[in-house]
Amino acid sequence: MNPAAFYPTATDYLRFLPELILTIGGVLLLVLEALTGDNKDKSSLGYLAIAVVLGAMFAVPVALANPGTSFNGMIVSDGFAAFFRMVTLLVGLFTLLCSTSYLSREKANTGEFYLLVLFSLAGQGIMAASNELIMVFLGLEIASISSYVLAGFLRDDKRGSEAALKYFLLGSFATAFLLYGISWIYGVTGATNLVAIRESLAAGTSGNSMAVAAAALMLIGLAFKVSAAPFQAWAPDVYQGAPAPVSGFLSAGPKAAAFAIFLRIFQTSFESFSSRYEPVLWILALATMLVGNFSALWQSNVKRMLAYSSIAHAGYVLVAVTTNSNVGTAAAMFYLAAYALMNFGAFAAVTHLAGRGESHVTIDDLKGLASKQPVVAGLLTVCLLSLTGVPLTAGFFGKFYIFKAAIDNHLYWLSALGLLNSAIAAYYYLRILAAMYMHEPKTTDHPEPVPGGIQLTMWFSAAGILTLGVFPGLVLDYANRFATFVK
């Protein structure tokens, strides 16, 4: 064997730099957590985690400056990977900013929370950049297992423990489907590298029914992870039961990473039978939008409502995936970035308003918020308007590009039904706005001050939403440029 092939080159490491920084930072936190005393304030570990995430964010352009595959084609550093690394890191940064005060309030401020967020981010980064089904599986599992624990982090909270258990069982079930699909694909093509699978399928066995079945199994596994109907049942319970910052994290970060591998696998490896899975994705997208929007109409708990709304938004992204085109991929990328901003902004507001023990999470509790806390109400309004898809917000352009891509690809019915869906969705977002602005406050007690991290998150997401709502080109041009995959 040639020993030169044995040692990874420096460029290999640079292409993997964001995940390396996150992993090293996570392990460092693990050691520091053990070294600091039990009764000390652990907020400083949170700040350290924030510094690690910022470091990883700076490493993303470094990885992008060295495009190509590394470690024998395990990891690919391209614009697509860099985009999703950035989105997940941004969500992670928001999570950490919101959690220091949240964890102190719930008296559960320990370092493990922060290191699990870092490990989950490393897993999501591996997912975004993986070029190999084995890496996809490992990244997905690292991200998922950290998420299960984060969902049940407040162990004395019954709803949280229930959420963690449900998430764990259904998530493992979904992973089993994915893994079964991977093993079939390996049996049929003899490869786990995405490009090698593509070549093997294109070289004559493309009509292979076993490969189609394997793709179907993997589709089920990934549909679970992006909470597409009919595999969405876990999402409402988990988002409702998990701590509010974690719900925001789960609904934006791992979901974006799951969509990233969804797009990459289906457009790289399985492109040769795109005509077969298009109808399946069509139905999946429509069902997801319908289930999410109609269930959200009846919710009185804001977290649960946002969970159903996140299912509906996964449906919109699936419309973009159904187009199976570069324009659609770019639209999905833009939408997921915009969605991360607006959804996390909303969850940040909920994190603050829920109060100790998350006892104030119904729409009734938001009554009269505009007169009590006008700034929080205003920032939450920006997020909700963007989720509705009102012009001048990022959500408007997100939906616009998705439906434009769908119409360009002759998916007229799906676009029409999708537009009707977003009209339905306006109702439940407006219900919150009406409660905040058109009702008197229930109580007259003085509101608690908003912690700095949550304030920063809300201002940042509102500013991002409005910027993208006026200058969508900032992100869309990038997405358009990098919506093609290495083939």
Residue 371: CB minimum distance to another protein, A? 40
Q: How far is the CB of 138 from another protein (least distance, A)?
A: 5
Can you give the binding site for another protein, defined by CB under 8 A? 1, 5-6, 8, 16, 23, 27, 30, 38, 71-72, 74-75, 112, 115-116, 119, 122-123, 126, 132, 134-135, 138-139, 141-142, 145-146, 148-149, 152-153, 155-156, 164, 187-190, 205, 207-210, 213
- Compute and round to an integer the Cα radius of gyration of the chain: 22
What residue spans of 326-372 are helical by DSSP H? Answer: 326-353, 369-372
For the chain, helix, strand, coil in percent to 5 are 80, 0, 20
Is there a contact between 349 and 383 (Cβ–Cβ < 8 Å)?
yes
Q: What is the rounded distance in angstroms from the CA atom of residue 430 to the CA atom of residue 444?
A: 24
Least distance (Å) between residue 87 CB and another protein: 21
| Residue with Cβ nearer another protein (135 or 380) | 135
Q: Please, what is the minimum distance in Å from the beta carbon of residue 214 to another protein? A: 10
Which of 126, 454 has the CB closer to another protein?
Answer: 126
Residues 375, 31: Cα–Cα separation, whole Å: 39
Q: How far is the CB of 361 from another protein (least distance, A)?
A: 24
CB of 244 to another protein, least distance (A): 19
Instruction: Map tokens 């694909």 to a residue.
Output: 185
Closer to another protein by CB, 141 or 365: give it.
141
CB nearer to another protein: give 29 or 91: 29
Residue number with CB closer to another protein (74 or 261): 74
Q: Which CB atom, from 106 or from 141, has the smaller least distance to another protein?
A: 141
Instruction: Please state, in angstroms and rounded to a whole number, the distance separating the CA atoms of residues 256 and 123.
Output: 12
What's the CA gap between 36 and 40, in Å, rounded? Answer: 7
Cβ nearer to another protein, comparing 169 with 438:
169
Positive/negative CA dihedral, 460, 466, 469, 473: negative
Distance CA 33, CA 234 (A): 32
Choose among 354, 353, 360, 371: nearest CA to 436: 371
Nearer to another protein, 3 or 449 (CB): 3
Could you please report the per-residue DSSP string of 451-476? PHHHHHHHHHHHHHHHHHHH-THHHH
Q: How far is the CB of 240 from another protein (least distance, A)?
A: 19
**Measured from the CB of residue 58, what is the shortest distance to another protein in angstroms?**
21
Identity at 443, one-letter amino acid code:
T
Q: Measured from the CB atom, is 184 or 344 closer to another protein?
A: 184
Q: How far is CA 162 from the centre of its chain?
A: 22
Rounded least distance, CB 83 to another protein, Å: 22
Nearer to another protein, 231 or 428 (CB): 231
The C-alpha atoms of residue 467 and residue 480 are separated, in whole angstroms, by: 18
Q: How far is CA 321 from CA 217, 278, 279, 331, 457, in A?
A: 17, 9, 12, 9, 29
Q: Which residue type, as a one-letter code, is found at position 419?
A: L
- Looking at the Cβ atoms of 142 and 305, the one nearer to another protein is 142
Q: How far is the CB of 271 from another protein (least distance, A)?
A: 19
Task: Report, in Å, the least distance between residue 314 CB and another protein.
Answer: 25
CB 256 within 8 Å of CB 88: yes
Tell me the C-alpha distance between 22 and 282, whole Å.
37
Identify the bridge partners of residue 76 per DSSP, sorted by sequence position.
69
